């Protein structure tokens, strides 16, 4: 399990990185955290002729609030999102609730959110979060910078709208007002395994009525998706368990998951429904300022011991 | 850069000048070029954690980094832990608590724990965070109980780590 | 075929250095540590095969079949041989007459019709089978070479299920069908017994294939020495058998081969074989006259090594209206994979069919069947977990059918303590047991009454998660029944300074022998433990040995050392008599022989005579039968199918525990492997015979996050056949745990799941499986 040979460049300037990549885009790969890319290189499923390491590029690791947006640089590691103070209000709560589900601390110390989006694993937590929040994906290439909405960015399993000569330089997430409620639920087999399904829920309530709903799903299709039917059903209705269950059913019905060993299509679709319902319940509690345990699955609880 | 490249690695405060292909894993260079074989390779895809070392103080998988990425960084491996003729408190504790059998995963667990707990000893007091940390690595022999007890022995209230006057508090 | 390097003379000087301890502080004295092994292991100074530095060493890599079944048409090694740093590339054709054949696991039982060459010759029979070997200057280059080899295979129909393979007209080996062996244990049960019985229950079970997954995969380093011998450094459980097998397969004198086992990164049964890759590596090291090593990686070991378990089982039990078992019939189709290398594992399942129960009629029929999958071989438990699982699930089925408490049903059927030694209808002779004692203790510790009441309370509630309690009572076997495997060689040498060097034919792969055996010898001799050292795992130092498997180390090896130490005391006393003391006056205590005023330490006696003070012998230690009862309490989230184990109580009886702490270490480790088997682990295959996991993100091991609260305790029923009284410990945990958890989950899910006699819930209990079961869907039927 050793990588095939490759050339290596580690420029200190973004323009040099873009130039290096542009010289042979079809056979070059960008190395950020490397926690998925290098793994696949060991299996020789990935055989880049050139690896452009952006870890030395200055300024890419910053996370800043820019107006109503959180701008996350390409080198911001998963670990940076472990504390709610990473972003104001509900966005910080959501990110810090999601990040503990991403692999484990040593991988979170290296892996990056931008890298997860560029990798586009259909069960990625960050990808589901990005589509739920309508993130902006900023790409820098030889022709300059462009922004792609998350909904258009993911085009299939491990496939995105990024052109081979482009580097994913920033992720832009909208800030969420404090009264917005957020929820996150994930079904996985062990602490060391990927998600089978995960659901991100963001609810804006006005007097107990849902004014806005966003649902992002991992493992519900060949790419991260929003559950649009369920969202539409929620808006204008009361934030009640029955409504959440209906939304779950709609999300399940609208999902088109891939089969994998130990998680067939039917099971995954069913889990989508359950997790959507539970994530919505969590989001309602969160909106009420109760960051309680309702809807959390066994992997979160510690009553086991 | 192509082909073999000179790199200066600083491991346990010692400089190693090695010339390596870019594709060589940090773990392989530590083991083969620096003769520091305490770091093990158990899966080469980042899951088992036997290769965990500290880079700039943080526990990372040395099978998922290339040595050429590590020039100028502070690398610590299990060989660098014991000091002044004494074992590190966690090395002592993992033995006392029978947190190892075959010993192949041990260096990885030791570096995982030392890296995280020296940064934040309060992890020992929070069972959920402690399990979150220890679930990073795999052990096939012990069933983990001894490893968990060892963390508490070294870093828990009145832990031996404090008594040894080691840093980190 | 690649050209050989210009010189075939051995290069300089490949003798491997001894382990160094540069990183071990002086302060890390072994007696301040939990175990003697630890001073080097916690400091990174341990030396596993991959850590050994030998000048000029080459790395091997294998090209493996990606096709499960097919005719091997061509292996093109041309491009690979051109790669800078590749020393040579060999297919079976290139090896020619020198291609070794893998010797049979058990002597005298070679399957001449289904031979296994070290590299596939004209047929591939499973994904992962070695097709070519590349030797290069390092592993990176060797893998580049493996990448460049082109293999042309004409696919044949693929068989992945043993039942299907047994009936198929596609044969894996030309001229012989796919049933490699058929075995029967006990007499067939008359139809009349089944017809007349008040109750008959029947269950069908599938034992998935498990990947043993020691943290260190297989590893071997072959070093041709200047004196014409070859040193084999290898991570192995049975160095003497490997030595003999290498000699046979490579047609070398046994004396030319020295097998040494340095620190070993775990085995669990999976490192007891003579693997095709080992034969190629040693052959090429000798041919090249250079050290060659092969450090297996995780991707290749998951399908290229061996798997454990892999059985289709059917169990029938007949009982009277009081629940007394009248007859038990077990049928097993054991999937032995592409080559039938270890049919004895399935034989154990048949021989053990009766379990701890006094069933008058027991019959087992076992077929071993070849399929296009990885060969199966021993994995922790090796035949016993399969038997216990099949029988204990069916006993629970019987309890439900009778409406009887499963604990009470078991208690009614146990072989009573006064019946030992007890010969079961399958011919197995059990040594001793107090099965009800272990059951009662388990029920008390788990607080059985409380959980049954809690279960009833939850069943009345609509909102709470279902709770289940599951039992497993078992009698297993440690050591082996067949001579010479029941023997073990041991020696003790007293040095002039009074130290004792113990040598033993077992071989630790993590079982703490270096700590436990010297303690045992020292304790027996009454001398400080620091005065005793241990040598094992080196065929030059240890003249013969059987090895470590089947939980035999303490039972057979420890007992041998114990007997040797008692003989050493007698020998020391004889020496005093020879020096003129009257025999009745000579006594021995605490390392000193005394007679009246005179006394000699062991060291004195060793120097007093030119004849070395030593004892050596082969000691016979019959198989023993440890037993126990495990109880699991689980909670099931029926919506997602997630199982949470709330409690796991394990009562084990392994006779006298020489070092209870080390026994407990073994038990917990085995329990967690059992949890893995129950809930997470399986190597699935698709219809094309492709294994569906090539890494540890697909093959899931339990992490600490999956660990339930464990309660361990013991009962002590000494081994009646040795003075030491120890039975084996090490495998019980993975024998008792899976049935307890599965029975608990079925208990939680209720009657709808339990009702089916054939099919039903199958391992592992993934969330999907449990969800389907909870929803009343058909699950896992074969």
pLDDT band at A301 (very low <50, low <70, confident <90, very high): very low
At residue C424, the 3 state secondary structure works out as: coil
Q: Based on the domain organization, do B75 and B9 belong to the same domain? A: yes
Q: Answer whether CATH 3.40.50.2300 is correct for domain C483-620.
A: no
Distance of CA A276 to the CA centre of its chain: 16
As a whole number, mean pLDDT of residues C319-344 equals 97
Query: Of all residues in chain A, what percent carry a pLDDT higher than 70?
Result: 95
Pairing of strands A50-53, A28-31: parallel
Using a CB-CB cut-off of 8 Å, the residues of chain A touching B112 are 105-106
Query: Considering only B115-124, C639-648, C769-778, which range has the smallest mean pLDDT?
Result: C769-778
Residue B37 covered by a domain? yes
Tokens of C490: 């041991």
CA of C507: how far to CAs of B134, C239, C240, in Å?
Answer: 30, 8, 10
Mutation site for A-interface testing, chosen from B69, B129, B151 by largest number of A Cβ within 10 Å = B69
At residue B52, the 3 state secondary structure works out as: strand
CA distance C76 to C149: 6
Q: What is the pLDDT of residues C418-452, one digit of tens each?
A: 999 999 999 999 999 999 999 999 999 999 999 99
Q: Based on the domain organization, do B72 and B105 belong to the same domain? A: no
Tell whether the model's pLDDT for residue B165 goes beyond 50: no
- The pLDDT value recorded for residue C781 is 36
- The pLDDT value recorded for residue C112 is 85
* Beta bridge pairs of residue C210: C308
As a whole number, mean pLDDT of residues C332-347 equals 96
Tell whether the model's pLDDT for residue C409 goes beyond 90: yes
Q: What is the pLDDT of residues A192-216, one digit of tens each?
A: 999 999 999 999 999 999 999 999 9
Domain limits, chain C? 431-478+625-774, 483-620
Phi and psi dihedrals of C764, rounded to 5? -75, 155
* Beta bridge pairs of residue C136: C59, C86
Phi and psi dihedrals of A228, rounded to 5? -65, -45
CB-CB under 8 Å, B127 with A8? no
- The pLDDT value recorded for residue C485 is 80
Using a CB-CB cut-off of 8 Å, the residues of chain C touching A121 are none
Residue B96 covered by a domain? yes
Q: Based on the domain organization, do B42 and B98 belong to the same domain? A: no
CB-CB under 8 Å, B59 with A106? yes
At residue A183, the 3 state secondary structure works out as: strand
Considering B19, B51, B80, which residue would you say is the last residue of a domain? B80
Nearest-Cα residue of chain C relative to residue B38: C44
CA distance A190 to C706: 7
Using a CB-CB cut-off of 8 Å, the residues of chain C touching B11 are none
Using a CB-CB cut-off of 8 Å, the residues of chain C touching B137 are 703
Q: Based on the domain organization, do B51 and B33 belong to the same domain? A: yes
Please report all neighbours of C, defined by 3+ CB atom pairs within 8 A. Answer: A, B
> Domain containing B127: what range?
89-163
Query: Of all residues in chain C, what percent carry a pLDDT higher than 90?
Result: 88
Residue B68 covered by a domain? yes
- The pLDDT value recorded for residue A300 is 36
Which H helix or E strand runs over C742? helix C732-749
- The pLDDT value recorded for residue C751 is 67
CA distance C746 to C727: 32
As a whole number, mean pLDDT of residues C737-757 equals 84
Total CB pairs under 8 A between chain A and C:
78
Q: Based on the domain organization, do B41 and B97 belong to the same domain? A: no
Using a CB-CB cut-off of 8 Å, the residues of chain C touching A302 are none
Residue scoring higher pLDDT (A87 or B167): A87
Going across the sheet that includes C123-124, the strands are C123-124, C70-76, C150-155
Q: Please, what's the largest Cα pairwise distance for chain A?
A: 61
Q: Where are the alpha helices (DSSP H) in C624-731?
A: 660-675
| Residue C686: CB atoms within 10 Å | 12
Residue B93 covered by a domain? yes
User: Average pLDDT over chain C, rounded to whole?
Assistant: 93
CA distance C299 to B43: 8
The pTM for the full model equals 0.95
ipTM: 0.96
Tell whether the model's pLDDT for residue A288 goes beyond 90: no
Please report all neighbours of B, defined by 3+ CB atom pairs within 8 A. Answer: A, C
Q: What is the pLDDT of residues C236-246, one digit of tens each?
A: 999 999 999 99
Using a CB-CB cut-off of 8 Å, the residues of chain B touching C142 are none
pLDDT band at C111 (very low <50, low <70, confident <90, very high): confident
Residue scoring higher pLDDT (A207 or B2): A207
Query: Nearest Cα to C292, choosing from C114, C629, C58?
Result: C58
Burial of C69 from C-beta contacts in 10 A (0-12 / 13-18 / 19+): buried
Tell whether the model's pLDDT for residue A232 goes beyond 50: yes
pLDDT band at A298 (very low <50, low <70, confident <90, very high): very low
Strands (DSSP E) contained in C137-249 are 150-155, 179-185, 199-210, 219-224, 230-234
Q: Following CA atoms C80, C86, C87, C92 in sequence, which dihedral angle do they give, to the nearest 10 degrees?
A: -30
Distance of CA A3 to the CA centre of its chain: 27
Q: What is the pLDDT of residues A96-150, one digit of tens each?
A: 999 999 999 999 999 999 999 999 999 999 999 999 999 999 999 999 999 999 9
Phi and psi dihedrals of C390, rounded to 5? -60, -45
Would the CATH topology of C431-478+625-774 be identical to that of C483-620? yes
CATH T-level topology, domain C431-478+625-774: Aldehyde Oxidoreductase; domain 4 (3.30.365)
Tell whether the model's pLDDT for residue C320 goes beyond 90: yes
What is the CATH classification number for the domain harbouring B38? 3.10.20.30
Tokens of B142: 């012990």
Tell whether the model's pLDDT for residue C562 goes beyond 90: yes
| Residue A151: CB atoms within 10 Å | 14
Identify whether the C-beta of residue C121 lies closer than 8 Å to the C-beta of residue C146.
Answer: no
| CA–CA min distance C208, chain A (Å) | 13
As a whole number, mean pLDDT of residues C121-126 equals 98
Query: Nearest Cα to C342, choosing from C312, C321, C373, C368?
Result: C368
Residue B169 covered by a domain? no
Residue B59 covered by a domain? yes
Window 96-125 of B, Cβ < 8 Å to C: 96-98, 100-107, 110
Number of domains in chain B: 2
Rg (CA), chain C: 27
What is the CATH classification number for the domain harbouring B159? 1.10.150.120
- The pLDDT value recorded for residue A292 is 44
CA distance B3 to A65: 42
- The pLDDT value recorded for residue C779 is 52
CA distance A278 to A263: 20
| CA–CA min distance A29, chain C (Å) | 20
CB-CB under 8 Å, B143 with C510? no
CB-CB under 8 Å, C147 with A4? yes
Considering B80, B97, B131, which residue would you say is the last residue of a domain? B80
Nearest CB among B23, B47, B94 relative to C697 is that of B47
Q: Based on the domain organization, do B158 and B139 belong to the same domain? A: yes
Tokens of C667: 């038990």
Strands (DSSP E) contained in C278-324 are 292-295, 308-319
Which H helix or E strand runs over C329? strand C325-337
- The pLDDT value recorded for residue C8 is 35
- The pLDDT value recorded for residue C9 is 38
Tell whether the model's pLDDT for residue A296 goes beyond 80: no
Residue B23 covered by a domain? yes
Nearest CB among C53, C697, C704 relative to B144 is that of C704
User: Average pLDDT over chain A, rounded to whole?
Assistant: 94
Query: Considering only A1-5, C5-9, C261-265, which range has the smallest mean pLDDT?
Result: C5-9
Considering B58, B80, B102, which residue would you say is the last residue of a domain? B80
| Residue C419: CB atoms within 10 Å | 12
CA distance B62 to C106: 41
- The pLDDT value recorded for residue C743 is 96
Query: Considering only B80-84, C13-17, C19-23, C603-607, which range has the smallest mean pLDDT?
Result: C13-17
Query: Nearest Cα to C354, choosing from C269, C469, C443, C435?
Result: C435
* Beta bridge pairs of residue B66: B25
- The pLDDT value recorded for residue C1 is 38
pLDDT band at B161 (very low <50, low <70, confident <90, very high): confident
Tell whether the model's pLDDT for residue A299 goes beyond 80: no
* Beta bridge pairs of residue A167: A140
Identify whether the C-beta of residue C262 lies closer than 8 Å to the C-beta of residue C19.
Answer: yes
């Amino acid at each position: 399990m050793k990588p095939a040979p490759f050339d290596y460049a580690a420029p200190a300037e973004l323009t040099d990185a873009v130039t290096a990549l542009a010289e042979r885009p079809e056979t070059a790969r960008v190395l950020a955290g490397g926690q998925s890319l290098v793994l696949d290189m060991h299996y020789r499923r990935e055989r880049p002729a050139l690896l452009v390491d952006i870890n030395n590029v200055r300024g890419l690791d910053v996370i800043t609030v820019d107006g109503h947006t959180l701008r996350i640089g390409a080198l911001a590691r998963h670990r940076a999102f472990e504390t709610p103070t990473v972003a104001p209000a509900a966005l910080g709560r959501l990110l810090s609730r999601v990040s503990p589900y991403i692999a484990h601390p040593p991988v979170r110390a290296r892996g990056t959110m931008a890298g997860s989006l560029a990798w586009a694993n259909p069960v990625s937590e960050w990808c589901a979060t990005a589509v739920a929040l309508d993130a902006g994906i900023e790409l820098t290439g030889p022709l300059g910078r462009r922004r792609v909405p998350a909904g258009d960015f993911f085009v299939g399993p491990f496939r995105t709208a990024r052109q081979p000569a482009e580097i994913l330089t920033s992720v832009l997430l909208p800030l969420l007002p404090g009264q917005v409620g957020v929820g996150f639920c994930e079904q996985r087999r062990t602490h060391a395994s990927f998600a089978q399904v995960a659901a991100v829920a963001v609810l804006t309530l006005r007097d107990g009525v849902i004014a806005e709903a966003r649902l992002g799903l991992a493992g519900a299709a060949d790419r991260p998706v929003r559950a649009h039917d369920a969202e539409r059903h929620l808006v204008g209705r009361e934030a009640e368990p029955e409504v959440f269950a209906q939304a779950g059913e709609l999300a399940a019905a609208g999902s088109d998951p891939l089969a994998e060993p130990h998680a067939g299509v039917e099971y995954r679709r069913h889990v989508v429904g359950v997790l959507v319902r539970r994530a919505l319940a969590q989001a309602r509690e969160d909106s009420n300022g109760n960051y309680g345990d309702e809807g959390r699955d066994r992997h979160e609880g510690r009553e086991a011991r | 850069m192509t082909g073999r490249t000179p790199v200066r690695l600083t491991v346990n405060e010692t400089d190693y000048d090695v010339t390596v292909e870019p594709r060589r894993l940090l773990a392989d260079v530590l083991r083969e070029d620096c003769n520091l074989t305490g770091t093990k390779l158990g899966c080469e895809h980042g899951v088992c954690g036997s290769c965990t070392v500290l880079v700039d103080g943080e526990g990372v998988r040395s099978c998922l980094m290339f040595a050429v990425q590590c020039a100028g960084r502070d690398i610590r491996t299990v060989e660098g832990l014991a000091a002044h003729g004494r074992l590190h408190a966690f090395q002592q504790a993992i033995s006392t608590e029978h947190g190892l059998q075959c010993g192949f995963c041990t260096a990885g667990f030791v570096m995982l724990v030392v890296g995280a707990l020296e940064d934040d000893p309060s992890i020992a007091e929070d069972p959920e965070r402690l399990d979150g940390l220890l679930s990073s690595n795999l052990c096939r022999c012990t069933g983990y109980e001894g490893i968990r007890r060892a963390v508490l022995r070294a870093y828990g209230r009145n832990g031996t780590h404090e008594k040894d006057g080691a840093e980190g508090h | 075929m690649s050209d050989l390097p210009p010189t075939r003379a051995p290069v300089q000087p490949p003798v491997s250095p001894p382990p160094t301890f540069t990183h071990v502080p002086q302060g890390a004295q072994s007696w301040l540590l939990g175990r003697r092994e630890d001073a080097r292991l916690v400091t990174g100074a341990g030396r596993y095969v991959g850590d050994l530095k030998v000048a000029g060493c080459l790395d091997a890599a294998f090209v493996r079949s990606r096709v499960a079944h097919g005719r091997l048409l061509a292996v093109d090694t041309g491009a690979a041989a051109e790669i800078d740093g590749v020393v040579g590339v060999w297919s079976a054709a290139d090896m020619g007459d020198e291609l070794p054949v893998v010797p049979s696991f058990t002597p005298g039982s070679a399957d001449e019709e289904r031979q296994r060459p070290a590299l596939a010759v004209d047929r591939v029979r499973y994904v992962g089978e070695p097709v070519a070997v590349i030797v290069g200057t390092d592993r990176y280059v060797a893998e580049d070479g493996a990448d460049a080899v082109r293999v042309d295979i004409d696919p044949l129909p693929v068989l992945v299920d043993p039942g299907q393979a047994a009936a198929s007209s596609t044969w894996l080996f030309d001229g012989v069908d796919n049933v490699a062996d058929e075995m029967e244990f006990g007499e067939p049960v008359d139809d009349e017994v089944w017809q007349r019985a008040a109750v008959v229950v029947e269950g069908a079970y599938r034992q998935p294939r498990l990947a043993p997954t020691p943290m260190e995969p297989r590893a071997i380093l072959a070093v041709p020495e200047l004196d014409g011998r070859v040193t084999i450094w290898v991570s192995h459980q049975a160095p003497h058998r490997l030595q003999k097998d290498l000699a046979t397969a490579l047609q070398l004198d046994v004396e030319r081969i020295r097998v040494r086992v340095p620190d070993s990164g775990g085995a669990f049964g999976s490192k007891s074989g003579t693997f095709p890759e080992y034969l190629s590596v040693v052959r090429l090291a000798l041919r090249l006259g250079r050290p060659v090593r092969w450090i297996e990686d995780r991707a290749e070991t998951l399908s290229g090594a061996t798997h454990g378990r892999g059985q289709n089982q059917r169990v029938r039990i007949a009982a009277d209206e009081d629940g007394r078992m009248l007859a038990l019939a077990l049928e097993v189709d054991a999937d032995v994979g592409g080559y039938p290398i270890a049919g004895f594992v399935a034989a154990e399942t048949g021989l053990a069919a009766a379990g701890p129960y006094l069933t008058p009629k027991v019959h087992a029929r076992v077929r071993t069947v070849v399929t296009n999958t990885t060969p199966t071989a021993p994995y922790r438990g090796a035949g016993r977990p399969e038997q216990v699982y099949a029988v204990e699930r069916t006993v629970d089925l019987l309890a439900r059918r009778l409406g009887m408490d499963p604990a009470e049903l078991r208690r009614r059927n146990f072989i009573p303590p006064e019946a030992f030694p007890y010969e079961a209808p399958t011919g197995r002779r059990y040594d001793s047991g107090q099965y009800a004692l272990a059951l009662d203790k388990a029920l008390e510790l788990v607080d059985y009454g409380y959980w049954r009441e809690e279960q009833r309370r939850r069943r009345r509630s609509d909102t709470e998660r279902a709770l289940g309690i599951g039992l497993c009572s078992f009698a297993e076997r440690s050591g082996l029944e067949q001579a010479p495997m029941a023997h073990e060689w041991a020696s003790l040498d007293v040095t002039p300074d009074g130290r004792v060097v113990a040598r033993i034919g077992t071989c630790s792969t993590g079982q703490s022998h270096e700590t436990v055996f010297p303690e045992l010898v020292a304790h027996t001799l009454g001398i400080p433990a620091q005065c005793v050292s241990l040598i094992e795992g080196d065929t030059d130092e240890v003249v013969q040995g059987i090895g470590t498997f089947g939980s035999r180390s303490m039972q057979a090896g420890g007992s041998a050392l114990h007997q040797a130490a008692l003989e050493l005391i007698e020998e020391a006393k004889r020496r005093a008599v020879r020096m003129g003391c009257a025999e009745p006056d000579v006594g021995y205590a605490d390392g000193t022989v005394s007679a009246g005023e005179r006394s000699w330490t062991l060291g004195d006696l060793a120097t007093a005579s030119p004849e070395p003070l030593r004892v050596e012998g082969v000691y016979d230690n019959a198989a023993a039968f440890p037993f126990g009862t495990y109880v699991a309490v689980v909670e099931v989230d029926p919506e997602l199918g997630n199982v949470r184990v709330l409690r796991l109580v394990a009562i084990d009886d392994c006779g006298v525990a020489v070092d209870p702490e080390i026994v407990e270490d073994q038990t917990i480790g085995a329990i967690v492997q059992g949890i893995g088997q129950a809930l997470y682990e399986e190597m699935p295959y698709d219809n094309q015979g492709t294994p569906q996991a090539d890494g540890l993100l697909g093959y899931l091991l339990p992490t600490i996050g999956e660990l339930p609260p464990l309660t361990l305790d013991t009962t002590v029923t000494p081994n009646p056949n040795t003075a030491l009284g120890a039975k084996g410990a090490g495998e019980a945990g993975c024998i008792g745990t899976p049935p307890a958890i599965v029975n608990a989950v079925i208990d939680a899910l209720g009657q709808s799941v339990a009702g089916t006699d054939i099919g039903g819930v199958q391992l592992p209990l993934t969330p999907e499986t449990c969800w389907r079961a909870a929803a009343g869907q058909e699950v896992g039927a074969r």
